[in-house]
Amino acid sequence: PSPKSFQPNGASEEALRCEIEELKQKDLSLDQEIAQLLSEGYSLEELDKHISLLHEYNEIKDAGQMLLGKLAVIRGVTTKQLYPEYDLELSD
């Protein structure tokens, strides 16, 4: 079989090269952002702690959204309709 038959979803070599280049640019951008934060006095440990806390927050938020969804199904309403009842903003 040709090498193209092994490419995911029939992606072309050019599309893969573009994706690699985009990832390299994103990596460079993130490195620059980290350098900026370090120059502002943040430490890598502090940044790691913030990232860890953000992951924890997102997991808790996802669990809350799941519970709201299940409650909405039980009550036969939309999740959006439950927000005021629990003093939640739509942006929460």
Q: What is the pLDDT of residue 11?
A: 61
Q: Where are the domains of the chain?
A: 9-42, 43-91
Q: Are 61 and 52 in contact (CB under 8 A)?
A: no
Q: What is the pLDDT of residue 8?
A: 57
Q: What is the pLDDT of residues 16-73, one digit of tens each?
A: 899 999 999 999 999 999 899 889 998 888 888 999 999 999 999 999 999 999 999 9
Q: Cβ–Cβ contacts within 10 Å for residue 53, how many?
A: 10
pLDDT higher for 92 or 16?
16
Q: What is the pLDDT of residue 1?
A: 47
